[in-house]
Amino acid sequence: MYRPLFFWPLARGFNMMMSQTRIGFTVSIAALMLTLSPGISLAADGAELYKTKTCFTCHGKDGNTPIMPSYPKIAGQNKEYTLQQLIDIKSGARSNGQSAAMKGVMHLVNEEEMQALAEYIATMAP
Ligand code: HEC
């Protein structure tokens, strides 16, 4: 007669343990997928960032049609070079009348995002 009452907390504990295991399993699968596809996820992120961080407004959707002839075409540039320019424009190490225009948006991106952007820009057709 008391048995159900006695077993109830045990059953509850078991259920919680099972659901935590399931969460743990889902998290490790997600982590595994991220580890297996770093290049793919970076390029995908970069494409998204290129839009959401307003890069396309000055450099064009394809990275090849800047809104002003004095703004650079960036599509297909080596990612190492691009990343260095992004870091330098953000820090102010690269600084002139032109870079001032771009520096205004650089607070929107951190180093990880700049890497994803550089990776993506390198994949754009020059
Ligand atoms: C307001 C306009 C504007 C926006 C927005 C902008 N840029 Fe720029 N960008 C420029 C200008 C102008 C230059 C040239 C700067 C210079 O001469 O120092 C430049 C330079 C660059 C360069 C260096 C090109 C080279 O050949 O050295 C890269 C790479 C670049 N931008 C990428 C980006 C990315 C990525 C974003 C989005 C996070 C972005 N830009 C947003 C205007 C902009």
Residues 20 and 81 in one domain: no
Q: At a CB cut-off of 8 Å and minimum separation 6, what does 13 contact?
A: none
**Please, which residues have CB within 8 angstroms of residue 92's CB and are 6 or more apart in sequence?**
103
Distance from residue 110's CA to the centre of ligand 1 (Å) = 15
Distance CA 62, CA 39 (A): 20
- What number is the average pLDDT over the span 36-65? 84
Q: What does the pLDDT look like over 66-112, one tens digit per residue?
A: 999 999 999 999 999 999 999 999 999 999 989 999 999 999 999 99
Query: Cα–Cα distance between 15 and 116 in angstroms, integer?
Result: 41
Q: Is the pLDDT of residue 65 over 70?
A: yes
Asked if residue 51 belongs to a domain, the reply is: yes
Split into its structural domains, the chain has a count of 2
Same domain, yes or no: 21 and 42: no
Q: Are residues 113 and 58 in the same domain?
A: yes
Span from the CA of 72 to the centroid of ligand 1 (angstroms): 7
Mutate to test the pocket of ligand 1, among 52, 67, 102 (most ligand atoms within 8 A of CB): 102
- Please check whether residue 69 lies inside any domain of the structure: yes
Q: Quick check: is 43 in a domain?
A: yes
Tell me: do 28 and 88 sit in the same domain: no
Instruction: Clarify whether residues 22 and 51 are in a common domain.
Output: no
105 touches 54 (CB < 8 A): yes
Show the domain range for 63. Answer: 38-123
Compute the distance between CA of residue 65 and CA of residue 91 in angstroms, rounded to an integer: 26
83 and 56 in one domain? yes
Q: Judge whether 2 lies within some domain.
A: no
User: Is the pLDDT assigned to residue 32 strictly greater than 50?
Assistant: no
pTM of the model: 0.75
Which stretch of DSSP H or E encloses residue 103?
helix 99-103
Which CA distances in Å does 51 have to 24, 47, 86? 34, 7, 16
Higher-scoring residue by pLDDT: 20, 39? 20
Distance 85 CA to ligand 1 centre (A): 8
φ, ψ (nearest 5 deg) of residue 98: -75, -45
